[in-house]
Structure formats: C-alpha cells, structure tokens
Amino acid sequence: MYTSLAEAIADAEAQRKSLAQVALEIESRDQGRSVEDIRAALHRALEVMRHAIEQGLTGDLRATSGLVGGDAAKLRHGAAGPLAGTVFREVLMRALAVQEVNAAMGVIVAAPTAGGAGVLPGVLLGLATKHRLTDDQLVDALATAGLIGAVVAHRASLSGAEGGCQAETGAAAGMAAGAATQMLGGSPKQVGFAVALAQQGTLGLVCDPLGGLVELPCVFRNATGAAIAMAAIEMALAGIEFAIPADEVIDTMGEIGREMDVRYRETAGGGLAATPTGRRLAKERLTQIKRA
C-alpha cells in the first residue's frame, strides 16, 4: 500500500486513473486477491455502515452508561434549525447514528477506529443520498478512504491512546473529505487538498472520554469531524488549495501526538473527562454499569 499521498496522486495522474483505481490495484497486488474480491468486501462494509445508520436513527438505542443515545433521531425529527432541509444536517445525523450504535455495543465498521466510526459513513452516505449516487461509487469512495487511512497509519497513528482524538476523529475527517471529494468528481489533487484541509482543522484534538468509555464526548466529536470534512470538501471542490501538502499535515499530526501529554491520550485523566461534572458523571455511570 502507498505510504505517501503524493505518490498515490502522482501515479493516478500519470495513469489517468482515479485514486480508487490505483488503491484497488495496489491492494490487489499486495494481498494477492482480485480487485473484484476486494470490492465485494467493501460492499459488505458498506451494508454494515448503512444498517448502523438505520438502527441509530430509530432513536431506541442507549449506551449502558446512559450517557448517550437518541440524539441522532432528534436531528432527524426535531425542531428546524439553520441547517434544516440541508445535506449538512443529513450528514450530522448519520454520523451521530453510527456512534450511538457503537456506544450501545452494536455492529459498526471501524473507519478507521470505533471511536471515529461515524464520520466516514455519515459523510459518504449523506452525500450519496443527496446526489443519488450508486453503491459502486460509494465502494470507490471507500477504497480511496482506505488508501488515505493507510497513509495516516504509516506516517502518524490511528490510535487515540497514541495520538489523541486527532488520530481517530481527525483521521476519519481526512478520510471522509478525500473520499467524498473524489466521489463528487474531484481530481486526485483535489482529494489531497481535501485531506489536508480536513486534518489541519483537527490538529491537537485531545482524546478525553469520560470514565474511559467511548461515549462522551466521542459521539458528538464524530458530528464535529463530519462538519469539518464537509467544509474541506466544499473548499477543495471550489478549487481552494492548501499550501502544506497532505503528507506534511499528517506528519505534523504524528509529531503533535507524540508530544501530547498522556492525560489527553485516552486515559480520561484530562480534558472534559477531568472536569468536575465529567468526574461525577463517570463515577455515577461506572457504578451503574458495575451494578448492571
């Protein structure tokens, strides 16, 4: 697999192919599997994502702790806000829905991790519904997202325990931004700019789950990550370029993660987890879980 987005973009341009095509071809070569077999696996992942969204939007799910649940349905059926009737709201509610399924111990696709799993399906399926795109186009987008995630994993990290939430929700935002930019007709270079624009907006994002549970603020950070991805997509498709290459933005994320205080790397020792209310809620909910 590629270890540099710049290299993948150069190959795609030289071969007059999409990033999805070059990603699938090199994955086929590396794994010794046919492109058709890999696409079939991505189709199955897409169905899991779709089911998680449907399940989360019912509003019936609650985390064992009681901290989160039912909020995706509020965006679907609740009072109209400034984004009512827009694809932006559709994306946000889908991102929340997947994370509420995750918090309730349902089945999701780690994209790239469980903690950031709502961003990619929220963005891709929200936009695909709006633009009436096919499942084959969504599978191409997932292949591109996988390429981006592999580069982030190689150059930095996808672990909140290692790099903070910038390595989970932040990486997910970059994956979603790049994949959706391609899905909506963007060039390989525009995909790279979308990744850079999304990930620069999440640099330094800490991982501070209350009680160590992947619930609060994790669920809501997925909606934030999806919003950042949408901003990056809009800018990239408009022709806006980011001066720092995506690979260098990813490298910077890795550097920041290595320097980040351990309190902000999934230990629940800092950030929102260490606020008076955060500590109280964590104590109450963890006690409740143990009793259950």
Per-residue pLDDT at 64? 80
Q: Is the pLDDT of residue 238 over 90?
A: yes
> 184 phi and psi, to 5 degrees?
-95, 15
Q: What average pLDDT score do residues 24-37 get?
A: 97
d(CA 213, CA 192): 33
Q: What average pLDDT score do residues 64-73 get?
A: 91
Q: What average pLDDT score do residues 68-81 get?
A: 94
Domain range list for the chain? 5-291
Per-residue pLDDT at 292? 61
Q: What average pLDDT score do residues 196-202 get?
A: 98
150-161 tens-digit pLDDT: 999 999 999 999
Q: Is the pLDDT of residue 289 over 80?
A: no
Band (pLDDT 50/70/90 cuts) for residue 77 is very high
270: left (phi over 0), alpha (psi -120 to 50) or beta: beta
d(CA 40, CA 225): 28
- 179 has which bridge partners? none
Count of CB atoms within 10 A of residue 236's CB? 28
* CB contact set of 48 (below 8 Å; sequence gap of 6+): 107, 108, 109
Per-residue pLDDT at 291? 65
Q: What average pLDDT score do residues 238-251 get?
A: 98
Q: What average pLDDT score do residues 220-243 get?
A: 98
Per-residue pLDDT at 285? 81
- To the nearest whole number, what is the mean pLDDT of the chain? 96
Per-residue pLDDT at 286? 74
Q: What average pLDDT score do residues 260-269 get?
A: 97
Q: Is the pLDDT of residue 5 over 70?
A: yes
| Most confident range, picked from 78-82, 171-175, 288-292 | 171-175
Q: Which residue pairs from 280-286 have beta carbons closer than 8 angstroms and sit at least 24 positions apart in sequence?
A: 281/67, 281/210, 281/211, 281/216, 282/210, 282/211, 282/212, 282/213, 283/211, 285/65, 285/66, 285/67, 285/210, 285/211, 285/213, 286/65, 286/211, 286/213
Q: What average pLDDT score do residues 240-251 get?
A: 98
pTM over 0.85: yes
Q: What average pLDDT score do residues 102-124 get?
A: 97
Q: Could you give the count of Cα atoms lying within 13 Å of 105 in the half-sphere of its Cβ?
A: 5
Q: Does domain 5-291 have CATH number 1.10.4100?
A: yes
Per-residue pLDDT at 66? 86
Q: Is the pLDDT of residue 288 over 80?
A: no
* CB contact set of 53 (below 8 Å; sequence gap of 6+): 94, 97, 98, 121, 122, 125
Of the candidates 228, 230, 212, 211, the one whose C-alpha atom is nearest the C-alpha of residue 169 is 228
